[in-house]
Structure 1
Amino acid sequence: MNQDWRGPLIRRLLLLIGACLLVGLITGEYAWALVIGLAGYLGWHLKQLLRLHTWLRTREDNQPPPEGYGLWGEVFDSIYHLQRRDQKARARLQAVIDRVQESTAALKDAVIMLDRDGNLEWWNLAAEKLLGLKTLQDGGQPIINLVRDPRFIEYFERSNYLEPLELPSPINARRRLQFHITQYGNREHLMLVRDITRLHQLEQMRKDFVANVSHELRTPLTVIAGYLETLLDNVDEVNPRWLRALQQMQQQGGRMQNLLNDLLLLAKLEATDYPSDNLPVAVDLLLLSIKNDAQALSAERGHRISLEADPHLKLKGSEAELRSAFSNLVFNAVKYTPNEGHISIRWWADEHGAHLAVEDSGLGIEAKHLPRLTERFYRVDSSRASNTGGTGLGLAIVKHVLLRHRARLDIDSTLGKGSTFTCHFPGTQLVRRS
């Protein structure tokens, strides 16, 4: 209550009591005079309260409050001003919401708001075009009921949104979409969906070009290599001056064949998302075979290669692809580790999944090179790569094989101390054997 109205209210109440006592003095009924007077006063307040209730229930926008005086006039005016302020605040908020909705409606990218359980709360017009959402039917529906691709369901439920997901559109298989989810607030989700069909087509053209050129070069290169081998087999009939040239041509021809084989393998890996032969692989036996091959590759360099593999862990996937990826890591360790160095191969599992670590005591790699090691043809030291006969595609093959097996590669290296390449596989890819 406003301090200015306390005095008048008390004076009116005292005046009413005084009038009642005066009437009681005249009539001789003090009690009845007080009861009737206070009842009338209470009735007047109830009437004002009913007027307030009627105004609040039936009022229209900007309708002024009923006429009143004294305390009730102050109450009417205060409520009216509070309502006006509330209307202005709501109008400002609605204007902001309208501008946000207008701006998101103009976006070509879909913007979708989901609650913590993944149910649809709001989306813009682009979401209707890209995902086929319908305003009247899909509100409150789980997003995984509308985008039913198993890869999206796995991506959404995994709650690891560091990398975007690329999938065909659920309403048009020829359109390629990129999904990116961000969590905010009380674990609500904001999902952005971009149409990357054009970029996907350009990337596919590049892949097809590389694959086709590699395939076309394979035949003439095989012919050249065959004739060089024939000439070197008949070295007695060849002019001695040409012997060294022929040997170098054969060596470089072999490197070109290895390069083409790696390019064709990469094209094959990129053609599909999952291995066709998704069967349990005995990783311990596979690593034992790779270790023996690495020991033969080391030959006279005297590397100490150790293997520690859990025999009870199998991995679902393609044995040929896994052999290619694991052997690339182990053979790289042999190539880049000095003589008498140590190479450790370890295969184990924990609560996070299964892991393969290849650790060497080599020269190590500078930190600035680590993010780009899995790029095609990226070389830390081009001279070193040519000396070891590498194609620059080994780690790119490893990366794509791991992606096809839902895995990732971590690289930890320190100059002068060596490197550790670790493959992390999710628990869903594991099969335990007795």
Structure 2
Amino acid sequence: MRSFVRYVLGVLVTVLILCAGITTLWGWAWGLGLLALFMGAVAARDAWKLQTLHHWLQEQQLSPGYQPGRTWEQVFGRLHSLERRIDENQARRQEAIERFQQVLTLLPSGIVILDQTHRILWCNPAAESHLQVHLEQDRGQSLPYLIRQTEFQNFLDRKPAPDHRCILHRRSQQDISLALQLIPYSAQERMLVTQDITQWERDEKVRRDFVANVSHELRTPLTVLGGFIETLQNSGPLPLATRERIFQTMETQTDRMRRLVEELLSLSRLESQTGVAPFTSIPLSALLSQMLQMASQLSQGQHTLDTQGHFDRRTLLGIEAELVSAFGNLVANAVRYTPPGGQITLSWREEGGEGVFSVQDTGIGISAEHIPRLTERFYRVDQARSRDTGGTGLGLSIVKQIALHHDLTLTIDSQPDKGSTFALRFPAHRLGLPENDPA
């Protein structure tokens, strides 16, 4: 602007000097004539440029409904139309940006817009939760300053690319694992996308542990069977007692593998079920009879079996085979982990409109730190003792899945050397009419 003013003043001074010189030499008429000629030339040039601007604005069709008039009015009208259109375009762009941000706020993935120095420009609620940041408080803050982990800083410092990914483990109020991806967003901005993969990592760990445990559980009996087969093939005639002991051991190991496979198939079937179990009436007294028979066979007279409650006054609503499996696993565990001479009590009680089936023993008991993990597949408090008793480590996992299928609650109460009580609580909608009720 200043250079333009200097230019205009310079031209005016030059013209005035020329006019003054001509006036001195030839008189006022020549001087005024030259000044008038100069002013006319300037006006003509400006009129030509104004007309050129007018034609350009007309070609842009910025105001298709304008009325013809004087050029300056038309120009200013078109400029006003241009300004209005710019305002409308800006309003539409702002509305589109707001709609886009509203969509991003609903995404389960975290979105953070960063500038070239890793400062936060915007983020959605998922990103706030994942990274423990707050947009209103932390806008303009450096994200590496808020998350002081070397691997995260190195990740942001790398050149962004579509395949630029990283796994970040956050140790805050709760452990969380995040999959990060840094995407070029614009010349001055980058987009950080975060996904919570905590549950996926847990599931993957469970899968790896499951495969490892199954392999380990099958390897031992297979090794035993292979060793005995090799012995029978390569040795001469063996004494009858030795052969019988070998065949008995082989039968035991084969039975162990068979039960493991059956329980794996049962657990897989239970975990794949959707919905809730149907409401088929099952006499509770019939379930008790099966449990007592099972306990007697497993105990071989080494334990005292007792019952408490009125099993003949109630029916349950569910799948009989699954409830038999759940009750049977609780009874089998009680027998396995109760030393000879101990007592096992099967009881039924009703309280608050709910029914509770429980199996109480006077066995070895369980420490409190192990109780939350007892329903995990292949989890054992004592590996050696579990194998000695013939357990597969899947029984309580099966009980848990059956409980979920029937809307039941499994509770465990135990103390070392004092015994354990495993109970299944039946909600009111899983309790049928008393067996003898004609209604």
If the length of structure 1 is used for normalisation, what is the TM-score? 0.47
Greater C-alpha radius of gyration: 2
